[in-house]
Amino acid sequence: MNDPAEVKQLAERLPLEGTGPIDPERQRKVVAALRIALLEHCVLYREEDAVAYECDGLTLYRQLPMVVALPETEAQVVQILKICHSMQVPVVPRGAGTSLSGGALPHNAGVLMSLAKFNRILAIDPVARTAVVQPGVRNLAISEAAAPHGLYYAPDPSSQIACTIGGNIAENAGGVHCLKYGLTVHNVLAVRGVTIEGEVVEFGSRALDAPGFDLLALMVGSEGMLAVVTEATVKLVPKPQYAQAIMASFDDIEMAGDAVAAVIAAGIIPAGMEMMDKPAVGAVEPFVRAGYDTSAAAILLVESDGTPEEVAEEIERMKAVLSKSGATQLKVSESEAERLRFWAGRKAAFPAVGRISPDYYCMDGTIPRKRLGEVLKAIQRMEQTYGLRCANVFHAGDGNLHPLIMFDANDPDSVARAEAFGFDILELSVEVGGTVTGEHGVGVEKINQMCKQFDRATLEAFFAVKRAFDPPGLLNPGKAIPTLARCAEYGKMHVHGGELKFPEIPRF
């Protein structure tokens, strides 16, 4: 591969400053090897350059990468992975860094590979209704490019203005319209990627079906642990002719949760169904002026789309169900501008909470719809237990909770209580028949709770899949799947109110 003499010569010339706990000699060798494959400005290793990559959207956990690589072509990705494989260096793929589970947390003895420069839309096919894009393309940019053809890309996470399709694939992202249009896994037709050995592989097909195992579904949501995505073919769907949204107010949070189940039980699949409790509404309304009912204990946003006739009929059906379920007020959007304001408020819930709290910790669990009210009441009790405020916003239609726990990152005790609060929400989600994630992934955040959700045989099966793709375990190690040793230790860790989940990972 690389000439050892050339590597040694480069290594001896490299100044190393501010590397902290990173092994300077190991860093020197890796930087030297990567500079043979990449241009000099595409290899970052000084602390002032690497610090921008020390965490993703989950800022609770921070770690300086040993080296940051910024490839510009698939051939360079291949070379980076071959080098890391030969040197046994871990690789952490990264998109825009909007992940909220620590999925892109760097490895201090590894390479952080940023795919930010893979930002081209390669093709839009309005007849086949597909787009071929590189992983660094922003989610919203796909819809913007498809708009002249009357098409758009359906998954719409709240971070869609910034998050990239590669990260969406890694975490199987959803969004406010995923109830009707599905998660990322339902909207990706094919993925091209590179294995840790530097082999280019393709999964899926533009056809309706492909022979063999469904490895594409395995890739979506794999958190960068199986291969590095370099290209994706996604579905495009026609823009609806018309859409309207209902804002329904409830004076009891449990009643609002029950109304969600009632709508689905009536055989209605809205384009979107979101719920916000009083603290969330109170944070959002002064920020966005969305027209929310700030006196309500909870509000539901329910949308219908299709032809004007279809929408009118479905809106009336939903109004009837919501009224019967105890809604105290129903407000139907009277214009496209008002409908967009309703959704702008929901999309801005996270930054709105950021305005009223020094920090917030966004959880992500999924529960059966019929247990929504029960779980929300339990979260209110947890606020008293941990002495922290919590605003709840979530994809109500599929039971995907996003509690926003407010805390102060400058207070270690507040940090510990926030983590313990989140820990309890995830445990409760599993106990009521749900799961520890809906769309944010596991990353490092929920790796202990995976021990509660899955038994030994299932975890061993997960690792068997990981070994099949990545025998040395170099792609995004320590994420998503807990080792059996960790689970054995976790069984002794049911201590709340002060214990940090990951003492080995540096914080603020």
Looking up residue 257, the CATH number of its domain turns out to be 3.30.70.3450
CA 51 to centroid of chain Cα atoms: 22
pLDDT of residue 489: 82
How far CA 93 is from CA of 36, 105, 433, 484, in Å, comes to 20, 9, 32, 25
Residue 500 in any domain: the answer is: no
SS3 483: coil
Q: 121: closest CA among 75, 159, 153, 81?
A: 153
Share of the chain above pLDDT 90, in %: 84
CB 184 within 8 A of CB 403: no
- Last residue in a domain, options 329, 351, 373: 351
How far CA 507 is from CA of 51, 77, 94, 99, 459, in Å, comes to 13, 30, 20, 17, 28
Question: Under 8 Å CB-to-CB from 141, ≥6 apart: which residues?
Answer: 121
d(CA 43, CA 15): 13
Residue 498 in any domain: the answer is: no
d(CA 188, CA 232): 7
pLDDT tens for 28-53 read 999 999 998 998 999 999 999 999 99
Q: Could you give the strand order of the β-sheet that contains 111-114, starting from the edge strand earlier in sequence?
A: 43-44, 67-69, 111-114, 91-94
Same domain? For 438 and 467 the reply is yes
Residue 505 in any domain: the answer is: no
pLDDT of residue 370: 86
Which residue range(s) make up the domain with 364? Answer: 357-490
Look at the chain and report how many structural domains it folds into.
4
Pick the residue with more confidence: 42 or 493? 42
Residue 94 in any domain: the answer is: yes
Q: How many residues does the chain have?
A: 508
Same domain? For 149 and 57 the reply is no
Q: How many helices (H) and strands (E) does the chain have?
A: 18, 19
Mean pLDDT of the chain: 91
Same domain? For 75 and 141 the reply is no
Residue 501 in any domain: the answer is: no
Same domain? For 164 and 197 the reply is yes
Same domain? For 407 and 338 the reply is no
φ and ψ at residue 291, rounded to 5 degrees: 90, 25
Band of residue 207 on the pLDDT scale cut at 50, 70, 90: confident
pLDDT of residue 9: 44
Same domain? For 443 and 398 the reply is yes
Question: pTM for the whole thing?
Answer: 0.90
Read off the CATH number of the domain in which 143 is found: 3.30.465.10
Read off the CATH number of the domain in which 431 is found: 3.30.70.2740
pLDDT of residue 12: 41
- Last residue in a domain, options 210, 238, 266: 238
d(CA 28, CA 13): 9
Burial of 192-231, coded b for 16+ CB within 10 Å and e otherwise, reads bbbbbebeeeebbeeeeebeeeebbeebbbbbbbbbbbbb
Same domain? For 334 and 400 the reply is no
pLDDT tens for 71-106 read 999 999 999 999 999 999 999 999 999 999 999 999
Residue 504 in any domain: the answer is: no
φ and ψ at residue 175, rounded to 5 degrees: 145, 180
Same domain? For 225 and 250 the reply is no
Residue 313 in any domain: the answer is: yes
- Last residue in a domain, options 183, 217, 238: 238
Read off the CATH number of the domain in which 58 is found: 3.30.43.10
Query: What integer is the mean pLDDT of 255-272?
Result: 94
Same domain? For 78 and 52 the reply is yes
Q: 331: closest CA among 295, 372, 370?
A: 295
Residue 440 confidence (pLDDT) above 60: yes
Same domain? For 308 and 342 the reply is yes
Residue 391 in any domain: the answer is: yes
Residue 3 confidence (pLDDT) above 80: no
Same domain? For 381 and 396 the reply is yes
pLDDT of residue 114: 98
Same domain? For 486 and 363 the reply is yes
CB 63 within 8 A of CB 109: no
